[in-house]
Every structure is written in structure tokens, then in C-alpha cells.
Structure 1
């Protein structure tokens, strides 16, 4: 079909005005599916390939001729910043039309929200949490607001594939569709989908439309990629005469305290450029930003570093976003995953990644922030490590982050592999949440009616009616819900307290947070404020606490110079087995990967030699001296956890195991009386037995993992941990191959 002719006139004008010579393959494929079929469509193409236009050019053309007194397009995105960015792009696109673009999240003014509720039309952009709030607080308005809904666009679909947040999002889509009696088509957008079939199945679950993922030939991508390794003090791996003064010349007496060569490398290589520095946690983000700013002070240079993470105030986040978009700005922003997703932050020259991310998907997204104006994507890994002490044992001599970084890159280069969806088999925490949300929005209903509303949602297809009865009985017992005289169910007093808190809308784990203020400026939030007079780190600076208002959860402070660690709560990372398999292969290869820099090459050569002498990676059990052993399973986080349990619960007595210690998912250390042969014989025997996964849960253990587990009966928490967290199948396969 001639796609251009099918576009609405204002879309054609937009293309002319922007001097587009041709449409990209993904734009043609998307238009053909959206115009000519009634399919759900998954659009997967590289970053900056025009996916947003690919989806919205035909969608806007479809609704342009058919005005409605209903929202016609629901756009769901994982981040407020992404919504704000796309709001500007869509508003610009629709400027000469009657198509309204609305956004709805916590930072949007109430006056705008009231206008949308009064006259719904066009496109509504929203986060999953705001959609949950909508479902509860605007329940009676849903049919009026959405009766003409034609399309639901889910942006950055990959970020929803492996979490309860994705389950929540698609449960809400199903609930809205039933309530408004509609059958909208779903359009998913992502740059980092590995298994298209699995992702398509996830996108289409519970929909009455077939789901397709057009395969398009992307242009061959060129990457600018480097990976360098730094010990945090000299000497470095490549040479003994490495001098941090080559990187940054100190101009004050205090400079030696700053001589962290890895940070110095980033400081020097971001000068005069617009860059991003990614870290894997908010704590590290704060520490790195503080240190880079100190380099500026000590070198008498203007501060050229910004910071962006989820605990900062909207004002500070938006300041960083605007500076990134400013073509004349040469600031560098230290960030977490908040800038990993599709915000268009202008022409960035480079991204730096400190240590390895947990996923191939995260690596691709972060690198994809660069190279958006015709230049290749550019990323520089900076792997940091402390010098080992003279008595350090073998497992601590291995630079795990360096191996992990190489594995992430090689898996995509060699196989185009990205983590597949992981539909949570028994998502009881989300089951509680959606049960309470359904009762809060709909009011009294019979147990059978409640079950028919909740258990029929696709995400709960593995939850049995018996399990649901166990849950409801527990909720009645704990006053989360209560029975009326008519035999119906409503929220109980304890349940009201949970649901009426604004934090109920989110299903991801949150810490109890205090907002931090310096004068009239709100800086962001922290967890567990220290006593008055102590220091805190936030917004890349250090502050002294003046006063804590525990009732209102507010902290007041003033700024000082210096550096201290920040704390925002734990950041767990789940690493897929395939990544560990590739890490093992790296130790076995002689290949020197072309993106490795001088120190990284030397460090990789060192560790290969060290492991070769010890018998790694062929041998998986290494004697550390006497009866001490190190065990290297080379499997993912959750299979590793299952294997840890198998050894400690089922093998311990037979091995006379003691002094057990593990660094998940890399290695375990322990003392035992058994020989190497006896260890593997016992391990294989126990793994081969047909045992219940519940056997791997300690007798009185209630392993709370998810946000609402505290409201669940112990038996369901234990069951979910055993059957959904512990990867027993992968573990058994891993042991069988040893």
C-alpha cells in the first residue's frame, strides 16, 4: 500500500516540513498493520528508529476523521519523564488539529486533570500507578471516559515484561476494557525485545485481537564501544607506572584524596561534551556525582555535573532533563535507570557505565541514549575494583563486573539475545493488590463475583480457586476485608488504611521516605534520616540535618562541602543464567575483544591466567586449602539461590558442611569433610530426586519478597517463593551437567 497517501493531511504536512525523504521500514510496516488489519502490533526496532512516529502517524490518522467525546488513545509509559517528553512531541504533531493530548501523573496540575474529565477526547498519557488511582477514584467515570477507546499504546514494553508492574498494567487494561465494554487494539513499542513471539504473547494476553510483530530489516548498526578497568589505587593492571596525574592534574593539596583513576577518567573524557554517566544504584549515583563535582572544585573549573534519579524532586529532575535537551549545554548528568528509557534528551555524545548493568536490555537501553542525530551510539564502560589483599582467596581475585560487562556485549553481538519475558507464575502479592483495588473501586460483591472479576485476569491464570479461597479467608481474619450482613465482601478497617494511602497505587517496593528541604527548595526524598547534626547526601551534594518532622515525614537541612555515602534502600539485581554461561565461556576463550582498552585487556589476561592455574572454569569445585572449598555453579540468580538451598538443606549432613558463605550468583565458599568426587556424587543424587520445591524453604521461614507479601497468609508466601522465585528446574539442569 502507499502508506503516505493513507496518512491524514496534517501528518503529510509534518513530513514535508521536516524534509523527510522516505519513511523508515518500521513506519511502513506499522502503517500497513494498523490501517489494513485489526491486529495488536508489537513494534520492535533499534533506538531512534522512529517507533513513536511509526505508531502514532497511522493512529492519529485513524482518529482524525472521527472525533469522539471519549479518550480514543491511551498511552501508558513507565516514567513521568518519558510522558513529559512524548507530550511535547505529540502536542507539536497535533498542533493544527482538534486532537487533544492530555497527560495524567502526580506532577500534572489538578486544573488540567479537571478539564480532561469534563471533556475527554484524543490521547491520554498516563503511568500504571496513575491508571490504578484512576480505576479506584474515577471508577464510575470509566465507561463515559473510555467508551470510544480504540488504541492502547504501551511504550518501553520490555520494562513491563519481567515484573509485577507489567502484570498490574495489563490487568488494568483488561479491567477497563470490561468496564467500558470496549475491545481496543494494543500497540507495544520497544527497542530491546529478544524473543518477539514471547513478547507478543505477553502484549496480547486477554485481548480478543491477534498480535503480530512485523519483522523489518534494520540498518546495520555501528557502535563506538570501549571498556576500561581501573583499580581504585595504583598500580593499574596494564603497567606499574600508571599515573593518575595523566588523567587529572590536581591544583590543591587535597587532590591526592581524590585520586580515583576511574572517576578521573570520566572527569577528563566528559570535558566539553554532553554525556550521561550511568550507575546501578542511587547511592552510587550520588557518590559519583559528589566526587566529580569535587574534581571541578579542586581544578578550579565550573561545576559541569547534574544528577537524575527517582528520589530527586521533580524540579531537580526536570532541570537535568532541560539541560540535556539544550543544544548549547555541555553538562554531564549522573543517572540511574530513570534516564535509561526513551526520553529524547538531545544530541548526547557519549554514555559512560560504571560497572556492568544486570541485563542485556539495560545495556542496550543505556547505550541507545546516544547516537540520536546520525552519529553511532557510543558507550564507555568503566570497571572499578579494589586491589586484592595478599591473603585474598581465589573467588575474590576474579573481576566479576568486567566478565559480566563483556558477557552482556557478546551475547547481543553474537546472538542478538535479550532477556525473555518472565511471567510470574504465582503473583500473590499482585493478586492481593488487584483484589483490594477491585473492592475499593466497585464496592460490595459476593466472593464468587470477586473471584470472577480477579481470577479471570490473564496474569493470574496459574492461581487456583483453592489458593484464592485461602487468601480471602486470611483477609477476612486480618480485617483487610469484611463480610456484610448480606454475605457480600467489602474493605475492612485494616484494608481501608492500606488502600487509602497514595502509595497503594504502586506495586513496586518502596521504602518509607522523608522529603528533604533546604530553605524553600525541595531536594527529593531519603530513607531513614540520620539524627539532627549529621550529614546526608542528595542531589549530588552534602547537607547537614537541622530538623526532622517525623509526623510530616520532612527533613530540613543546609548545604556543606564534602563527601559522604547516600542510602535510599536496597537495589537487588536478578541476573539471567545465560549471562553466567557466557561469563564462564569468556574465561575459557583466548579472544581479546576489540572494545577492551589497555588496562581491561591486561586484567582479563591476568584473570584467565589465574583461573587456568586453578583449573577454572572447567573445574567447578576448587580447593582453597585444607577443608575449605569454593564452588562456581555458573547459573542465574534464582537457580543459584535454589542450589544454595539444596546444598544447605539436603546435602549438608552428608557432607558435614560448615562455614557456608555465598556471593550470589557467582560462587559459594564452605568447609566440608567430603572429597570433590563425594561432593558431586551427593549433589547429583539429591538434585535428581523428585522433591517438592517447598522442601527448599526453611521450617519457620516466611521469605517476604514483594510489596504486599506482608498481608498474605504465610502458606502462600512460602509457596510463591518455592515455585516462582527458586528456579528449581534450571538448578536441576545445571547440576545434571556438572
Structure 2
């Protein structure tokens, strides 16, 4: 049995301390490959024991192979998840006399100094904190990481799909060089559609040299609850949603997911006005406010917590009864993460109630549930052409090592693309523009990098995502959270009221220089607002599934009478915009649209490719492209046939560069090329161009 391969002390505590009669399938199957040093991707539903599947074998290897000092780094995407894991991992490590510590932006300086004096055996951290340790003058990174043997990446799919994944891969390659040995890489994930490709991505430069295995005895797609436990309802407004949530499942603990911070605030306030014990969680609430909410929610019973995706990942919020989804997430993967929050008690089943706030959102929720019903899960793919991350990494290595060789710099990432010699044009630009200085055969940080990124000891270089400016909101000395500055400058009649943490506040004073806003409690009212960067729009698969729902297919879940009625009305109203055999070009007065149902990125590509047929502003969304008002079927056929032979990348407004962090370290041409490649979906666009188009005149 695999449990026999674990260290005897661990096996003893599994039975006598945890009361386990056996290992779960994932934990059982992970023991041998991880003990043998294989890279691995461990897949299981939420609360499927993924953490233990990695930690028990690695703790065993730590003892058997006599690893000492910092030998395992455990990386998470969220600080809250690290804090949540710390007590559990401390318990497991203590069985063997080993230690665990956490290092992230909220950890006090004194604690960090103690970690450096007495490194733990396992360090819980984020990629950004790893970067800060590598470049800090106060950290001897060669001494700290010289004994590193393995890296565990929790919620690996959350990294791989955006630039944090590229940053993480680059940092892992640098840690590999410091340690002087290949690092075993173990990814943990609940929901991915392409596990083999994701594991290959995680292996980085060692993908052809190290054995690798996907461990997935309990695939998420096989753990569907009965259809009756997934329900879709139409409520029409936030107030109606609050009324439904108040009336349903009283005495139970309910977790409600919303797709924006503003919606979290509005629903939280509406629930509290109805006397429901309500807690809120989103990224613009203060750390203390979020912790109070999570702790209270974990201990309470008859209550609701309203959250954005911040509680989608593996943070423990106690024994949950119900998940409620306002509108719909953008991916099946997110839905599965949220669904996995329920059904953890013996005899309980996983459940989720969808509440759509309007007809369009009902359609998209139905489309998502149809995809899920067909067993579809999105593949996780890294964003293409991360030139800005390459530039950031070159500057970071210059800070880390003080200087790097002119001919050897690309070896710092073990020749992993795109950080290899192919990034030479980026290095030349950095040198030409003064971001990097050259002295003979050596490169080092230049004055332009000091000027652009040198504030707070280059702290702005540690994170690869941008954060819009926000004002800190304080009630006395207590920090409530942060708000968009436009709420403090809008013209208002009477007192200026804010909505934050589900409560109303009256602004008493604004410290413009220090970006602080002081408030006092108000009885009611107020607005919430945050600038949110574009989420990239819907995918081709989801958009096509929504089209199929519009054409008459129902998702395999329970629909309320209201949902059935509104869905039927929506099909009657919008049905002419969809056709099962191809696309639709519709004319409604001067509004001419091409209904592609292809997703945002495909439509961006199509709008650029068929530029002569679109309106001057090239307006498009997830499902349609606005066409020129004088379009005829003859103009369409001529323009379509000439343009469809070669796809064009979408055009990018120069103002969009502000959302690409470190774009200053790239030439404008390379920065725009990066954004353009990321906005395109060539495969989906090509598929649409191969389909026939049907012309209809609406209203006749």
C-alpha cells in the first residue's frame, strides 16, 4: 500500500491524530511518484485533499533524504490562502520536528528577519514575495535557497492563465540556478481542461529531462451533483435577489458569488437592510475587514457571505450549506471551483443556485450550464508573447546579481523561452534607452530603470499586474477599505455618501496628498465604484453555447417557472440573431450587425480583418460586430471574399498600453504587438470565416 511508503511517524498521525482510516485516492496515488522525484500535477475537486497529496510525500522525502534548511517552497496566488494553510502545514511538519513559515507583503519585518536567521523547512509565499527576496539587499538569496529541493504551486491554473504564470516560471528558473539542482515541481489544481499541457508548462526548462505524471483519480467532470441541485432562476434586480436569498434556506450558511465589487456592495447592503447577518469579501476591503468577515462566517450558522472570486479558491470558510451565484462566471472552471465549496459534509450534495439579474445574464448563465452539462472545461493557456515580463525579468536579475554577463544573461533562465536569446531585441532596447548600463562585458541597472521603477526599493517591479489608483477609506483609525477616486470628485447634492463593506459612510474629510478619505457611519445610501480593467470578454466556446441556448437548447439543470418564461421571451425577441448553420447579418434600421457568436477575441480579429465592412469605430462585443450602414449583400460578398484569405491582428489603441505593466521598458512597437497578439483568436476567427452568413431584416 502507498501509505506504507510514507514516513512511519506520518502514517501514525494519519490514524491517531487525524482519525483517517485510509488515504483519499489522490493522496494514495501521489505518494510513489512524488517520493521518486517526479514532477506532478495533482487534480481533484475542491476539498479533495490536494495539499496533503503533496505535503505528506515531500515531508517523507525530507526525512529519508535528509533535506535540511529551506528545502520546500509552497507558492499560492493569494495571501489569504497562505494564512489559511499555515496552521495545517505547521501541524503536519511538527510531527517530524520540522518547521513552516509564511512570507508575504503583510508579514512584519521582525518575522522576516527571524526567518532569515532561522530558515524554516517549508516556506509559504507568493511569486511576488519570492521576487522581492531575490532582489533584496537584505536577503542572501544564495544562502537562503541553496538547499531548495521542491516547489509546490497551489491553484496552478490561477497562475498559468495570466502574466503571473510567466513571472512564476521565470522566478522558478532563477531559483533552480541558485540551488544548483533541478527542482521538483508539483502543481495542485481543481479544474483544468488540458492537464498534460499544464504540467508541461509548469516543468519549464526541465520538461524534457524530468519524469512527469498527471495524478487525477477523481476528475472534476465525474463529480456532478444531481441536476436538481443546480437551479437557474430569474430575479430581475439586486433587490429581488436579496429578497430571494433572505427567504430561502434560513438557518443555513450561504456563500454568494458576484461578478464585481460594486455588485457585492449593493447586494450586501440590501441583505443587511432585510436583517440578514451578512459579511462581505472583495479585494478593495481592508485586510482586517476581510479577516473579520471570514472568521465570523466560519463560526456562524444562519448567515450569508457575499464575495467576488476572492473566495473561489481554497480558503476555508467553514462548513458551507449553499452556494448562490449572481448572474454567471465567465468560465466553467470558475463555476466548478465555486460549486466545490458545498457538499463537504457526509451525506450532503454539491449545490448551486443561479440568480440572473436580467434577460441577457439569464441567457449567459444557461449557456455556461449547458457547457458544464456537456463535460466541457476550458483549457488553461499562457498569454502569448510576454515581452514586458521578459523586460521585467532582465531588470530583476540585474538587481539580484548586481551585474550579468553580456553574452550569458539569457542563461539565467536556463534558456527557457521566451527568456532565451530570442529576446535579444528587448535587451537591446533596454540598453539603448538607459534601463541597463553596459560596462565592457557586463550589464547592470541603468539610470532609466532607477527613475521609472526605483521607488520604494524597486517594489513596483515585484508584481506583474497593474493596480489602478485608489483612496484609502478610514473611520477614525480603522481602515475600511479602498474606493475609486472618482467617487470623491463627482458633483453631488448634499453629503457625499460612500458604500463600502456593505455599510453607508458620510465623507468628512479628504487628504488628497496622502490619498486618504475619512468617513463616519451614515444611516443609508451611498455609491460604490471601482475602475476595473477589461476581463477579456467571453470565449468562443461559451459564446457558441449561448447561441445554442438561444436556438432552443436548455441546460441540464432545474429551471424555475420564471426562468422558463423569460428564456422563452428572450428566444422570441432575439431568435433572428442566431442560426444553427452559420452566422447572421441583421439590419434593424441603421443598425447593421454581424452576429458571429464567436467571443470577444475572435470578434476583435474579425473586425480588424474585415475593416472595410465594419463601421468606422469598429465596435464589437462577445457576440456581434457592427457593420457599415450602407452595407449591401453585394458589398458584403466582395469584401468578405477578399478579406477572408488572410487574417489581421486587432488594432490596439495606444492608450491601452497603460494597462500593460512595464510597457515603458519596451519599444512602443513591441508593446503594441504584445497587446495585439493577446487580443486575437485566430483559430476561432478562421472557423467563423468558413461559415455561411444569412441576411435578415429585423422588425419585418
CA contact (8 A) 2:609 2:648 kept: no
The SS at the match of 1:448 is coil
Q: CA deviation at 1:281?
A: 1.3
CA contact (8 A) 2:255 2:304 kept: yes
Instruction: Determine the structure 2 residue equivalent to 1:495.
Output: 450
Aligned partners of 1:698, 1:459: CA distance in 2, in Å? Answer: 22
CA contact (8 A) 2:323 2:351 kept: yes
Q: CA deviation at 1:494?
A: 4.6
What does 1:219-368 correspond to in 2, within 5 Å?
A: 220-223=223-226, 224-232=229-237, 260-269=239-248, 271-296=250-275, 303-326=276-299, 328-368=300-340
Q: Tell me if 1:543 matches 2:505.
A: yes
Instruction: Determine the structure 2 residue equivalent to 1:400.
Output: 360
Q: Tell me if 1:472 matches 2:430.
A: yes
The SS at the match of 1:43 is strand
CA contact (8 A) 2:430 2:666 kept: no
Aligned partners of 1:658, 1:732: CA distance in 2, in Å? Answer: 23
Match of 1:530 among 488, 491, 501: 488
Q: Tell me if 1:414 matches 2:369.
A: no
- For structure 1, which segment, 331-340 or 486-495, has the greater mean C-alpha deviation from structure 2 after superposition? 486-495
The SS at the match of 1:52 is helix
How many positions carry a matched residue from both structures?
677
Instruction: Determine the structure 2 residue equivalent to 1:253.
Output: none
Q: Tell me if 1:505 matches 2:462.
A: yes
Instruction: Determine the structure 1 residue equivalent to 2:103.
Output: 104
User: Cα 1:632–1:548, aligned 2, differ >3 Å: closer, same or farther?
Assistant: same
Instruction: Determine the structure 1 residue equivalent to 2:168.
Output: 169
CA contact (8 A) 1:139 1:442 kept: no
Match of 2:383 among 416, 424, 427: 424
User: Cα 1:138–1:193, aligned 2, differ >3 Å: closer, same or farther?
Assistant: farther
Summarize deviations over 1:340-368 as a string: whole Å, max 9, x none: 10112111111111111111111111111
User: Cα 1:6–1:513, aligned 2, differ >3 Å: closer, same or farther?
Assistant: same
Q: CA deviation at 1:120?
A: 1.2
User: Cα 1:700–1:290, aligned 2, differ >3 Å: closer, same or farther?
Assistant: closer
The SS at the match of 1:722 is helix
Summarize deviations over 1:453-477 as a string: whole Å, max 9, x none: 369344546x83453245324xx42
Aligned partners of 1:455, 1:709: CA distance in 2, in Å? Answer: 24
What does 1:6-155 correspond to in 2, within 5 Å?
A: 6-35=6-35, 37-65=36-64, 68-137=67-136, 141-155=140-154
Q: Tell me if 1:442 matches 2:401.
A: yes
Instruction: Determine the structure 2 residue equivalent to 1:390.
Output: none
CA contact (8 A) 1:621 1:676 kept: no
- List gaps (5 residues or longer) in structure 1: 233-258, 297-302, 386-398
Aligned partners of 2:50, 2:367: CA distance in 1, in Å? Answer: 28
Q: CA deviation at 1:703?
A: 4.8
TM-score after normalising by structure 1: 0.86
Q: CA deviation at 1:554?
A: 2.0
Aligned partners of 2:343, 2:90: CA distance in 1, in Å? Answer: 25
The SS at the match of 2:639 is helix
CA contact (8 A) 1:659 1:670 kept: no
The SS at the match of 2:519 is strand
Aligned partners of 1:67, 1:137: CA distance in 2, in Å? Answer: 29
Summarize deviations over 1:477-524 as a string: whole Å, max 9, x none: 2x4333447763323155355143433311112112222211121112
Q: Tell me if 1:628 matches 2:578.
A: no
Match of 1:646 among 609, 613, 635: 609
What does 1:587-606 correspond to in 2, within 5 Å?
A: 587-591=550-554, 593-606=556-569
Aligned partners of 2:198, 2:397: CA distance in 1, in Å? Answer: 27
Aligned partners of 2:72, 2:100: CA distance in 1, in Å? Answer: 9
Summarize deviations over 1:388-442 as a string: whole Å, max 9, x none: xxxxxxxxxxx33223222222223313x22212222211221222122112222
Q: CA deviation at 1:157?
A: 0.9
Aligned partners of 1:451, 1:148: CA distance in 2, in Å? Answer: 24
Q: CA deviation at 1:92?
A: 2.4
Instruction: Determine the structure 1 residue equivalent to 2:698.
Output: none
Q: CA deviation at 1:578?
A: 1.1
User: Cα 1:712–1:589, aligned 2, differ >3 Å: closer, same or farther?
Assistant: same
The SS at the match of 2:559 is coil
CA contact (8 A) 2:177 2:412 kept: no
Aligned partners of 1:142, 1:467: CA distance in 2, in Å? Answer: 29
Summarize deviations over 1:576-601 as a string: whole Å, max 9, x none: 21111211222223546432222111
CA contact (8 A) 1:702 1:717 kept: no
- For structure 1, which segment, 22-31 or 533-542, has the greater mean C-alpha deviation from structure 2 after superposition? 533-542
User: Cα 1:117–1:615, aligned 2, differ >3 Å: closer, same or farther?
Assistant: closer
User: Cα 1:538–1:260, aligned 2, differ >3 Å: closer, same or farther?
Assistant: closer
Aligned partners of 1:719, 1:104: CA distance in 2, in Å? Answer: 36
Aligned partners of 1:342, 1:592: CA distance in 2, in Å? Answer: 27
Aligned partners of 1:351, 1:702: CA distance in 2, in Å? Answer: 36
- For structure 1, which segment, 97-106 or 263-272, has the greater mean C-alpha deviation from structure 2 after superposition? 263-272
Aligned partners of 1:212, 1:467: CA distance in 2, in Å? Answer: 36
TM-score after normalising by structure 2: 0.90
User: Cα 1:228–1:11, aligned 2, differ >3 Å: closer, same or farther?
Assistant: same
User: Cα 1:312–1:8, aligned 2, differ >3 Å: closer, same or farther?
Assistant: farther
User: Cα 1:586–1:440, aligned 2, differ >3 Å: closer, same or farther?
Assistant: same
Instruction: Determine the structure 2 residue equivalent to 1:214.
Output: 215
Q: CA deviation at 1:211?
A: 1.9
Instruction: Determine the structure 2 residue equivalent to 1:709.
Output: 663
CA contact (8 A) 1:177 1:183 kept: yes
The SS at the match of 1:651 is coil
User: Cα 1:692–1:679, aligned 2, differ >3 Å: closer, same or farther?
Assistant: closer
User: Cα 1:447–1:320, aligned 2, differ >3 Å: closer, same or farther?
Assistant: same
CA contact (8 A) 2:165 2:382 kept: no
